[in-house]
Chains A and B, each alone.
Chain A
Amino acid sequence: MRYLVLLTLLSCVGERQKSEVKRVVSLAPSLTEMVFFLGAQNRLVGVTTFCDYPPEAKKITKIGDFSNPNLERIVALKPDLVLAALPEQRRIVAELSKMGISVFTSHPKTIDAIIDEMDSLAHLFGLPFPEDSLKKLIYPLPNFDRKPKVYIELAADPIITVGHPSYLNDLIIKSGGINIFASVEVEFPVVSWEEVVRADPDLILIFHNQRCEERLGWKELTAVKNGMVFSGLNEDVFLRPGPRIFIALSELRRIIEGCVPRL
C-alpha cells in the first residue's frame, strides 16, 4: 500500500470516492496488463500505443506513447482514475494531480510490491484479489548451496544493467540467484564491461539485439564457456513489472536450475 499515492479530490467530491472507479486511463503497458489481469478491462477507456498485451488492449483508445502521454487526450476521456508509472511519468502525474484527477502511481521495486500494487488496484476497482495464491508462486524461495551469479544486460552502448533498487534484482533473488550488480544503489546503472568481466557471471541474460561475441574477454567468461547466455527471452515478459512477471519468474527459475549443476 505504501506505493499507492492516491491524490484525492477535495471534500465536495468526497462522495465519489466511495464509489468504484469506472473510467480508467492507463499510461503504461505493465499497468494495462494489471487491469486485464484483475478482469477490469471494460473500465479501461484509454491506454498507450505501447500497450499491446493482451491483444484486446490494442483496440482501446490511444492517449500517446509511454514516454509522451498526451495530457489533453487523457483529460478528454474524463477518467476518474489514471494509472501512471514512476519515475518516468513524474511530470504528467503532477499535471494531472493539479487538475484534480486521481492518479495511481506504480513503481514496484520487488515482486511482492507488484502484488501489493495489484492488490491496491483491486481495492480501487472493488474486485477480489487472489493475493495468497500469487504469493505461493513466489514462496518458498529456491535455495541452492551455491547461488549462480546472474548478469542482466539491458543495453550495450553504453552497458546498462540492473542494480539493487530494481524489481529485476528481486526477480534474480527470488529465482535463486545473485545479481552481480546488487551492490549498486541505482535502478538501471551504466557500468563498464571491465566490471562485468571482473564479476565473471555464471549466467547472462541479454535484452537487446546487439552482438556480444566479439567483445574482448567474452570467451573467457564462465557463463559463455558453460553455454549459459540467454538472449532470446521475451522482453515484454521480463521488462514489464506487471502480472506476467510470474512467467518471467518461472522461466528464470528453470534457467537457474539448469545452471546450478554446472557451478
Chain B
Amino acid sequence: MRAKVIVPLLGILSLIYIFLLPNPPSPVILKIRIFRLLLAIYTGVTLSVFGLFLQGALNNPLVEPYTLGIASGAALGVSIGILVGSALSINILAFLGAVTAATLVFFLARLSGRLLREGLILAGIIISFFASGVVFLLLVLNGRELHEIIYLLMGYLGRVPTRSSYLHLSLSSLIAGVSLFYIFFTTKALDIIATGYESAHSLGINVNRLLTRGFIIISLNVGLLVTQVGVIGFVGLIVPHLARLLVGDHHRPAFYASMFIGIGFILIADLLSRSLTTIELPVGVITSIFGAPFFIYLMIRR
C-alpha cells in the first residue's frame, strides 16, 4: 500500500532531479546528471540501510556510519590514498581507515564500560574528530586546497564524472548489492535483538558474529562510498527513524522503507545543496543542518 505511494513519488523526484532542476539538460548534460543521480541513489541506499542495521544490531538509536566515526576513518584512508597516488590504493586505504576507526571506537567504548550506549557515540565522536583533524593536517601539509578537504569531509555528489568513475560506481554498487542482500537476511535477527541481547542469545543468535561481519561489510562499503562522495553525515541516522515511523519497528519492512526514503532524502538534499546558493555546496551541509536537530530530538525523547 505504502510502496504504491513511495515508488511513484521517487520516480517523480528522480525526473525532477534529472530534467528540471536546476534547469533542463542538453544530451551531454543528461549523461552527467544521470551519473549524479545514480551516485545519489547508491549513496542514499547504502547509508540508510547500514544505519538501520547498526541501530538494530547495536540496539542504539543514535548510531550510523557517521556518528560511529567509520566514515571519517575512511576519509583519513582516502586522504592518505590521495597522497600515495593510485585509485586502487585509495579504495583499499579507505577500507582500512574505516575498519581501524570501527575497531578503535569499539575498543574505546569498551574501555569506558558503557559499550552499547553513550560510550559508543562518545568514542565515535572522538575518533571522528581525530580522523578529520589528521585529514586536514595531512592534506594541508601536502599543499592541497582547503576546498578539497572541506568537500571530502562534508560530502559532495558533484565531483567531475569520468569514464572510470562509472566503472568505480558499478563495482561498488555490485558490492553494495551483495552486502544489502546479507543485511536483508539479518533483519529477522535484528527484530529479536530489539527485544534484548539476553533473549537473542537464548534464541541462538550469535550477536558477536553478526556484529563482526556487519562491521567488516559496512567498513568495506563505507570505504568505497567515501572514496566517491566523501563523508555525508546523518543520512544513516535520520532515514531509518523515518522508515520505522512509517512502517513500524519490524526490520524487514523498515529495510525497504529505508532504501526508498534514503533515496528521496539524498536527492532532496542534493537539489537543495546545488540550488540554494550560486556555488555548489557540499551535500553534507544540508544533511547536517537537518540531522543535528533530529539527533537532539532523539536524545531528548529517550
Contacts and interface: CB of A to CB of B under 8 A. Distances in A.
A214 interface: yes
Interface in A52-73: none
B161 interface: yes
Contact of B145 (A160, A186, A194, A197): A160
Contacts of B31: 216-217
B148 A193 contact: no
A158 interface: yes
Contacts of B25: 194
A193 B32 contact: yes
B32 A158 contact: no
Contacts of B29: 194, 197-198, 217
Contacts of B2: none
B279 A193 contact: no
Interface string B144-159: 0101100100001011
A217 B35 CA distance: 12
B195 interface: no
Contacts of A216: 28, 31-32, 35, 160-163
A190 B280 contact: yes
Contacts of A190: 147, 151, 279-280
A254 to B, nearest CB: 29
B208 interface: no
- Interface size on A, as a range, is 20 to 34
Given A160-B145, A190-B147, A194-B29, A215 B161 contact: yes
Given A184-B278, A185-B278, A156 B26 contact: no
A119 B187 CA distance: 73
Contacts of B162: 214-216
Nearest to A218: B162
Contacts of A160: 145, 147
Contacts of A197: 26, 28-29, 32
Given A155-B148, A157-B159, A158-B159, A217 B280 contact: no
Contacts of B151: 157-158, 190
Interface string B232-250: 0000000000000000000
A8 interface: no
Main secondary structure of the interface of A (DSSP, over half): loop
Contacts of B35: 216
Given A159-B160, A194-B32, A214-B162, A186 B148 contact: no
Contacts of A220: 28
A192 interface: yes
Contacts of B163: 214, 216
B164 interface: yes
Interface string B162-178: 11100000000000000
B279 A157 contact: no
Given A155-B148, A194-B32, A186 B278 contact: yes
Contacts of B117: none
Contact of B279 (A155, A184, A198, A217): A184
A35 B298 CA distance: 59
A178 B158 CA distance: 25
B274 interface: yes
19 contacts: A155-B145, A156-B160, A157-B159, A158-B158, A160-B147, A185-B278, A190-B151, A190-B279, A191-B280, A192-B158, A193-B161, A194-B158, A197-B28, A197-B29, A198-B29, A214-B162, A215-B160, A216-B32, A217-B29
Interface of A: 155-160, 183-186, 189-194, 197-198, 214-217, 220
